Amino acid sequence: MPAVPDRMPLALLPTPLQRADRLTEAWGGPTIWVKRDDLTGFGLSGNKVRKLEYHFAAARAAGADTVITCGAVQSNHCRATALAAAASGFACRLVLRSGDGSPPPTLEGNHLLDRLAGATVRFVDPDGYANRDAVMAEETNTLETGGAKVWVIPEGGSDELGMWGFVAAMAELADQLPRIPRSPVTVWHAASSGGTTAGMGWAIDRLGIDAHPVASSVGETAPEIRRRIDTIWTRAAEATGSALPGVDIEIVDRHVGGGYGIATDEELATQAEATALSGLLFDPTYTGKALHGLRLEIERGTYGKGDHVVFWHTGGGFAVFAHDFDAVLRDCAPGRDSGR
């Protein structure tokens, strides 16, 4: 692998860095800035497309005509992969995890977009998903027997290749940081498969960026996320013949609530309030949960007035359309509906 691999432009970049003044005022703590990766595209919105730029470039260079990847039924990564494949002329096969291994009764949210983009899907139950790499290998074998040339993208696009999307993203933020009067700035973000955080840390180490990333886990334990980051860094260091990063990454796992994909009413209420105070859409699994975590940290005094926190908005908005907000909207939405 060359020091910096090739990328296929898919995302609309750079994304803006904006101050969220009403949210800042309402939460009474640090100045909150939002890095708008929800604007990397419409179908291609979110952090995943940045990683896919490197995977699709590698797939094309390898002569592939089909990509395969995996995730939960409402995976943003799978949706972005399906739409990126449609945009760049690849076929797309997805391995999706559902509760019992069968397709959900309604086609909604990201899963609907997967299908609209022409992706074909194999559903597996959680036990099957535990062996996702083997399932993808089996699918690859079948597709290649049929004449396809397949490029395998790991879960979340999080490996030593996808990581480069967030090395470049962090360099992009570095160009915007002079607008923020205080450093080092905290970069709060939702974390799961670790590729986003790994890229941020690599960039900070190599480029000397004055920022402190905080990975807010949406389900996994901090040691598990640390292990995922270390694996990506080790492979990237091997691939580039360079040293491991020595930066300090803070991983917070105290705000996972009910666990991966389970949003508590408090998280949903924070998400709804934040939308009403910013006009931005968040999602229950990732950005809504991470934002609620940030709010709790502000309440416990971790960040106060005078501090600046960049909330990296990693996208995920389509999941809003696959979630039931009834319980929280009855209580907390400003401007409730009336009959007339």
Ligand X SMILES: Cc1ncc(COP(=O)(O)O)c(C=O)c1O
| Residues with catalytic function | 75
Among the listed residues 15, 24, 192, 216, the single contact to ligand X using CB under 6 A = 192
| Dist CA 97 CA 79 (whole Å) | 13
314 part of the interface to ligand X, by CB under 6 A: yes
Helices (H), 146-185: 163-176
Is 47 one of the binding residues for ligand X (CB under 6 A)? Answer: yes
- 187, 190, 204, 232: which one binds ligand X (CB under 6 A): 190
193 counts as binding ligand X under rule CB under 6 A: yes
Helices 195-207/222-240 angle, 10° precision: 50
Instruction: Give min distance, CB of 334 to ligand X, in A.
Output: 25
- CA torsion through residues 215, 223, 194, 261, sign: negative
Q: Is 315 in the site for ligand X (CB under 6 A)?
A: yes
Q: How far is the CB of 28 from ligand X (least distance, A)?
A: 26
Alpha-carbon dihedral angle through residues 129, 132, 134, 136, given to the nearest 10 degrees? 120
Told to check if 81 binds ligand X by CB under 6 A, we report: no
* Helix spans in the chain (H): 21-27, 48-61, 76-88, 109-116, 126-130, 132-145, 163-176, 195-207, 222-240, 265-278, 287-299, 326-332
Exactly one of 7, 35, 50, 77 binds ligand X (CB under 6 A); which one?
Answer: 77
Least distance (Å) between residue 258 CB and ligand X:
17
Ranges within 252-281 binding ligand X (CB under 6 A)? none
Closest CA to 245 of 193, 292, 289, 209: 209
Residues 6+ apart with CB under 8 A from 183: 177, 210, 211
Among 154, 195, 284, 293, which residue interacts with ligand X (rule: CB under 6 A)? 195
- Residue 191 touches ligand X, criterion: CB under 6 A: yes
Q: Shortest Cβ distance from residue 77 to ligand X (Å)?
A: 5
Q: How far is the CB of 59 from ligand X (least distance, A)?
A: 19
Give the residue, chosen from 30, 156, 213, 293, that forms a contact with ligand X under the rule CB under 6 A.
156
Alpha carbons 197 and 234: distance in angstroms, whole number: 14
Instruction: Give the interface with ligand X as residue ranges (CB under 6 A).
Output: 46-48, 76-77, 156, 158, 190-197, 283, 286-287, 314-316
